[in-house]
Chain A
């Protein structure tokens, strides 16, 4: 998923480091500070949960691809060999990109084959993947 946690934290620094032009110093800057604060809060969630979500998703996709390989092709098992490396977010995302590309191809093949059982299993997995990657917006008060 993009942007990454380092992108967000780097961006929070960069967007506050430059002095704004006069017309952007008031209400606009106050709004920007609010958004940066919100990003920082969400970044804390990503720091807490992001690695675990990626490790889980990658392991789950490997299992799914290996299980499907006998029916849908050995290339799926080949993709499932993508390794998580040093467990940094960047390394996990590189493996995840390989696994997700294989998942997209598998789902297309499953739909074409009319394989309803596996199609439903993949749809349920999508729900789990989205939930694992969620970011929880705090209950912000209205103005």
Chain B
């Protein structure tokens, strides 16, 4: 039975009405979920939908329930697609999955292209950092995600995050990585000040994880699979990591000058940007990146070398983040 036939069978049961699936097509990109677009014809109406299914092996193990709740939390508050249904057991599709509405007419830029937003970089940047600030402005206790996700003590946000990603490196490392280990030690020696408030952290808020219309408007914020509660500066630091600006040193995320991006975030979130805290989270971002790429390299090997996205992640981005880590460590010591 094909995937389309399985999906058709599931939706017919779920909606308790005959449903036809057409135009099922896998979308290239992310390695943490298999993503497909399709149309469902139900009661004479065509519904454009997205299927997100767990892969046999993934770049990182993430909690699909929290991802689904993140979509629920921000649909209607930000440009976030409507979640439809979550199936943790897999049912007809064999592996856990969820279905959400589809936003058509947009494109996701690759962070590895030159000037990915062209003349609309300023407008995209204002929307991008404004939307991140809007996410950070919301009290998690008001949200479905806030009721389900662990909420760390503000003073412990840094430790929870660092322990998680240092643990990934410890578990998945196949070749000794002295640079990232030095960065982890430095982060432990000099923790950041606690955040004013804990907030929802998207977890992978960056160039490439949103759809834009090519005219300066963001249509959909995607890829919430690493959403959690923590220090909102974690997202801001990840969004401005040099990896996502591809050697554009004048602008963060290929969009805006750094100071302008931080100002937009601070205004829309209502939260201050503590320079020392942000510096800590920026070094942390490169550690987190290196952990993700270390895990990707492990998955690439364990999966029989068949997923080239895992290869790029475990190879090119890992080496790029080593450069970023080394540069940051030297700068913190006044050596560059």
Contact = CB atoms under 8 A, between A and B. Distances in A.
A120 to B, nearest CB: 6
A85 interface: no
B230 interface: no
A93 B175 CA distance: 8
B76 interface: no
A36 to B, nearest CB: 5
A107 B185 CA distance: 10
A23 B4 CA distance: 8
B159 interface: no
Interface stretch (B89-97, B197-205, B315-323): B315-323
B41 interface: no
Contact of A137 (B3, B246, B311): B246
A75 interface: no
A123 B326 contact: yes
Tier of interface size on chain B? 35 or more
B46 interface: no
A91 interface: no
A142 B117 CA distance: 8
A48 interface: no
Contact of B305 (A11, A96, A127, A139): A11
B82 interface: no
Interface string A96-131: 110011011001100100000001101110110111
A17 B27 CA distance: 20
B319 A12 contact: no
Given A11-B300, A142-B114, A142-B115, A32 B175 contact: no
A135 to B, nearest CB: 5
A11 B311 contact: yes
Contact of B179 (A97, A101, A126): A126
Contact of A15 (B24, B308, B336): B308
Given A126-B182, A135-B315, A140 B306 contact: no
B123 to A, nearest CB: 16
Interface string B1-40: 0111000000000000000000011111100000010000
B36 A23 contact: yes
Interface in B149-200: 174-179, 181-182, 185
A18 B298 CA distance: 22
A1 B301 CA distance: 13
A104 B169 CA distance: 14
Nearest to A119: B333
B311 A39 contact: yes
Given A124-B335, A142-B109, A142-B114, A134 B323 contact: yes
Given A124-B330, A130-B322, 14 more contacts: A2-B175, A11-B306, A21-B2, A23-B2, A28-B26, A32-B28, A97-B175, A123-B182, A123-B326, A130-B325, A131-B323, A142-B118, A143-B109, A143-B110
22 contacts: A1-B315, A2-B315, A3-B315, A7-B305, A8-B305, A14-B306, A21-B3, A23-B3, A28-B28, A32-B28, A39-B311, A39-B315, A42-B315, A97-B175, A101-B176, A104-B178, A123-B326, A123-B329, A126-B322, A126-B330, A129-B179, A134-B319
Interface of A: 1-3, 7-8, 10-12, 14-15, 18, 21-24, 26-28, 30-32, 34-36, 38-39, 42, 93, 96-97, 100-101, 103-104, 107-108, 111, 119-120, 122-124, 126-127, 129-131, 133-135, 137, 139-143
